[in-house]
Amino acid sequence: MKLLVNRKIKRLFLCVLLTIAAFTAASVFIVFLKQENAVHYVLLAAVLTALVVFAALFWYFRNQSKIMNDAIGQIREYIAGNRDARIECDDEGDLYRLFHEVNSLVTILNAHAENERRAKTFMKNTISDISHQLKTPLAALNIYNGLMQEEVNDSPELKEFTTLSEQELDRIETLVQNLLKITKLDAGTITLEKSPQNVSDMMGYIERHFACQAQQEGKSLVLSGNEDVTLTCDPNWLTEAISNIVKNAFDHTKPGAVIRITWRALASVVQIVVCDNGSGIHPEDLPHIFKRFYRSRFSKDKQGIGLGLPLANAIIEEHNGTIEVDSTLGAGTTFTINFLNPTKL
């Protein structure tokens, strides 16, 4: 019987069996002697038998409870980050087979975690090396392009060419920088320096950053929100995330468009909304806009590099936030970002 494989269950079974056998033998012996108080002696033997059985069961279940508590303690240690935590399974039986399977699962999880860590490290090092290798020729090209711009005042064609070259070089440099940032976020090598920040001040910085572009393109950037709203975050990284979303709005709107940034504090979240009245996003593209290097077949933008929104999403997730998108073709797009606000819980 599998039930009797475990040594402790064997001992319990033998103890109960021997106790019952002893009680039966004693009862038969007392009855055989035909003593006057035979009934009383039998009852006494029954009470003693019950006490022995109860004591054996109590010892067994207390021992089982200790084993389970130790196992739960080891599981909690593993969840807390101790990758060396294991459940003792040096006995036989179904319970110990279960413990062995849990230990095997832990070993597999550790192996997967180690493989993932190595993959992230490899990706980080590879992309960092590529990015750093690109920085030097990019800097040289920027210098050469600047020298050419100084010499093309008499040639409109060359002037237009150098202007386009400058735009392309800026685009490639942005790609390299975004690659580095996403790689660092993926590898967990960035520690966010979070502190309580005034949301209005951060949005004001973004407004000033895009003021020149808004004027040149004939667009409006409008802010609206409570000036007293605060959010615990890393202001540099979160400002970059919101800026990428705003830049996306500028890239997909026409002159005369209005881009709005609003924020408010709800019961348990701080909400930031970026909306525009631009061309909107095709329904087929909505599930993919946060994928890296994704390019829509419906987009008229032939130079999109597909990293601005993924980077924004990665930064927001690092702040334990969520981002949702609602878009209507020809009417505009709304990005809604929610951050848990512990002070309001």
pLDDT digits 0-9 by tens, 184-206 = 777 676 778 889 999 999 999 99
* pLDDT tens readout for residues 235-281: 989 999 999 999 989 988 889 999 999 999 988 899 999 999 988 88
Cα 304 to chain center, whole Å? 27
Q: What is the pTM of this model?
A: 0.60
SS3 track for 176-230? HHHHHHHHHHHHCCCCCCCEEEEHHHHHHHHHHHHHHHHHHHCCEEEEEECCCCE
Enter the tokens of residue 126.
Answer: 């590879």
CATH architecture of the domain covering 112-187: Orthogonal Bundle (1.10)
Q: What is the token pair recorded at 2? A: 């599998």
The domain 195-344 is placed in CATH, from the list 3.40.640.10, 3.30.565.10, 1.10.3720.10, 3.20.20.60, at 3.30.565.10
Residue type, 36: E
Dmax over CA atoms of the chain, in Å, equals: 135
Q: Average pLDDT in the 214-219 region?
A: 92
How far is CA 205 from each of CA 61, 179, 200, 219, 242, rounded to the nearest angstrom? Answer: 65, 24, 9, 17, 11
* 3-state SS string for 91-145: CCCHHHHHHHHHHHHHHHHHHHHHHHHHHHHHHHHHHHHHHHHHHHHHHHHHHHH
Given a contact cutoff of 8 angstroms between Cβ atoms, the answer to whether 43 and 26 are in contact is: no
Q: What is residue 27's predicted lDDT score, i.e. its pLDDT?
A: 66
Place of tokens 């409006």: 220
Domain-by-domain residue ranges, the chain? 2-85, 112-187, 195-344
Give 131-155 pLDDT, tens digit per residue. 677 777 777 777 777 777 666 666 7
